């Protein structure tokens, strides 16, 4: 597992609750043992607990330490790799995806209400276009949403309307979608973990899993203890390197975020009065939004794989200023990075290592939404309903031999390829 500090992020500095669950010691037994306390692990745990399962979660660091506590907080619709899955589904694909695209959003809404989770949840999102082909893609999305009877406000904005909405002339149009939104991801993850504990979950922190002993009841082993379970779920996503079968099917891609100092009311009114999350359509993309205390959180990729906040600031600041030159005198208070799991064929990786050991990972930057759906699908699968699970599991992952050992140069090469593609 990579060592990445979590303390430098704006989220760690502004979270309303810090977990301190005891490490795993001694030998325990449960129905389901989940490895990883990010959105996938905690969401799966909550769905299982709500159905009466006994659940233990084993986390190497802290709840939300991985991508779930570091991300852009954007609740984006859709599932990456849809087209690949659709080929397997044939004519049923449209009906299946109509519901699934936004299912995670509804789960988040329900959880926040049901468990009283305070996580700065807001709705409103702008998909911005840089090139003509992006406008054509937005038109296709718009037509599909209209056909599907999408229940929230959505409309296309011209270049001038886009500029009036987000105070920049960087884009040639956009698609407003009031069903997508944004939130403080670490607050949500910790809130969901507290909800899981209130339903009887046991969470162990600071407990890296070093072995999974397979058998009729697999045993999850850490330095000082173990959990034997009927079923194990691997939810370590891009940070998980234990299982051979999962190597080479997903690239661990780094993404970075900077957070400005809080902006004045005047500036907020100039750049984002409707408090929308904004995302561009590139593969090597940029995304931004305001936090609850009105900082601009701006994310994108750097030509860098480390964690030095000064280097992250140096690389992201010019990108931010290209969009908002008016922020040139604003200080950047925080800079951090995290690792996203991008499957080679972009299809989320749900499958089995053995009959009683499942894995669930790889959402390509759509994880806030899709992890919440995936948690439900995993709970269904544990309970024996595998229709949706199989929809993903039946797509054969593409494997790049040796990618695990060469991941940094491979990712660099891959990113170069996609940067060139984005420019076309």
Ligand X SMILES: Cc1cc2nc3c(=O)[nH]c(=O)nc-3n(C[C@H](O)[C@H](O)[C@H](O)COP(=O)(O)OP(=O)(O)OC[C@H]3O[C@@H](n4cnc5c(N)ncnc54)[C@H](O)[C@@H]3O)c2cc1C
Residue 340 Cβ, how far from ligand X at the closest point, in Å?
4
Closer to ligand X by Cβ: residue 5 or 264: 5
Nearer to ligand X, 91 or 244 (CB): 244
Cβ atoms of 70 and 15 closer than 8 Å: no
Q: CB neighbours (10 Å) of residue 103?
A: 19
Alpha-carbon distance of 395 to 84, in angstroms, equals 8
For the bound state, the minimum distance from the C-beta of residue 2 to ligand X, rounded and expressed in Å, comes to: 9
- Cβ-based nearer residue to ligand X, 139 or 245: 245
- Least Cβ distance, residue 360 to ligand X (angstroms): 7
CB distance 243 to 5 below 8 Å? no
CB 184 within 8 A of CB 292: yes
DSSP of 280-318, one letter per residue? Answer: ---SS--EEEE-TT-PEEEEE--S--S--HHHHHHHHHH
Instruction: Name the residue nearer to ligand X (CB basis): 68 or 291.
Output: 68
Q: What is the DSSP letter of 262?
A: P
Cβ-contact 22, 204 below 8 angstroms: yes
Nearer to ligand X, 159 or 242 (CB): 242
Q: At what angle do helices 367-382 and 103-114 cross, to 10 degrees?
A: 80
Concatenate the DSSP letters of all residues of 362-406 into one string: --TT-HHHHHHHHHHHHHHHHTT--HHHHHHHTSPPP--TTTTTT
User: Cβ 266 to ligand X, closest distance in Å?
Assistant: 27
The residue with its CB nearest to ligand X is 367
Nearer to ligand X, 159 or 281 (CB): 281
SS3 13: helix
To which residue do tokens 């840089």 refer?
Answer: 130
Q: Which residue has the tokens 């990883």?
A: 36
Strand partners, 247: none
**58 or 330, CB closer to ligand X?**
58
Closest approach of Cβ 17 to ligand X, in Å? 16
Looking up tokens 């009036």, which residue turns up? 164
* Residue 338 C-beta: closest distance to ligand X, Å: 3
> What is the C-alpha to C-alpha distance for residues 22 and 39, in angstroms, rounded to an integer?
20
> In terms of CB distance, is 95 or 372 closer to ligand X?
372
Residues that bind ligand X (CB under 6 A): 1, 35-41, 58-61, 65-68, 70-74, 76, 208-209, 235-240, 242, 255, 257, 287, 299, 338-340, 361, 363, 365-369, 371
Least distance (Å) from ligand X to the CB of residue 104? Answer: 9
Task: Compute the least distance from the CB of residue 175 to ligand X, in Å.
Answer: 17
Task: Name the token pair of 138.
Answer: 């937005």
């Amino acid at each position: 597992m990579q060592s990445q500090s979590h303390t430098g992020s704006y989220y760690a500095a502004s979270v309303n609750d810090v977990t301190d669950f005891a490490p795993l010691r001694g030998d325990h037994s449960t129905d389901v043992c989940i490895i990883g306390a990010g959105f996938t692990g905690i969401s799966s745990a909550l769905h299982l607990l709500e159905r009466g399962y006994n659940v233990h979660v084993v986390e190497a660091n802290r709840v939300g330490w991985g991508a779930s506590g570091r991300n852009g907080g954007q609740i984006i619709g859709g599932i990456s790799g849809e087209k690949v899955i659709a080929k397997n589904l044939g004519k049923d694909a449209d009906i299946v995806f109509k519901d699934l695209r936004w299912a995670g959003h509804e789960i988040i809404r329900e959880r926040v209400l049901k468990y009283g989770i305070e996580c700065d949840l807001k709705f409103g999102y702008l998909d911005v276009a840089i090139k003509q082909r992006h406008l054509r893609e937005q038109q296709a999305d718009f037509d599909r949403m209209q056909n599907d009877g999408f229940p929230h406000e959505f409309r296309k904005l011209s270049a001038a309307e886009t500029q009036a909405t987000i105070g920049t002339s960087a884009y040639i149009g956009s698609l407003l979608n009031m069903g997508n939104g944004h939130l403080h991801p670490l607050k949500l993850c910790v809130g969901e973990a507290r909800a899981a504990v209130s339903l009887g979950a046991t969470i162990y922190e600071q407990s890296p899993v070093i072995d999974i002993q397979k058998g009729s009841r697999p045993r999850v082993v850490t330095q000082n203890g173990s959990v034997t379970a009927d079923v194990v779920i691997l939810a370590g996503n891009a940070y998980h390197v234990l299982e051979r079968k999962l190597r080479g099917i997903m690239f661990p891609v780094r993404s970075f975020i900077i957070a400005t100092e809080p902006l004045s009311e005047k500036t907020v009114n100039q750049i984002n009065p409707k408090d929308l999350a904004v995302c561009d359509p590139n593969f090597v993309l940029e995304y931004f939004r305001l936090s609850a205390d009105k900082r601009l959180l701006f994310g994108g990729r750097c030509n860098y794989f480390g964690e030095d906040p000064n280097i992250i600031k140096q690389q992201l600041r010019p990108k931010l200023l290209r969009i908002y030159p008016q922020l040139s005198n604003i200080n950047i208070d925080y800079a951090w990075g995290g690792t996203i799991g991008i499957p080679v064929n972009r299809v989320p990786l749900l499958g089995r290592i053995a009959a009683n050991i499942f894995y669930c990972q790889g959402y390509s930057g759509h994880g806030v939404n899709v992890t919440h759906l995936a948690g439900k699908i995993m709970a269904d699968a544990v309970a024996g309903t595998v229709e949706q699970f199989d929809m993903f599991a039946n797509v054969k992952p593409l494997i790049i031999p040796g990618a695990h050992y060469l991941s940094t140069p491979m990712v660099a090469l891959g990113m170069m390829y996609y940067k060139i593609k984005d420019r076309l």
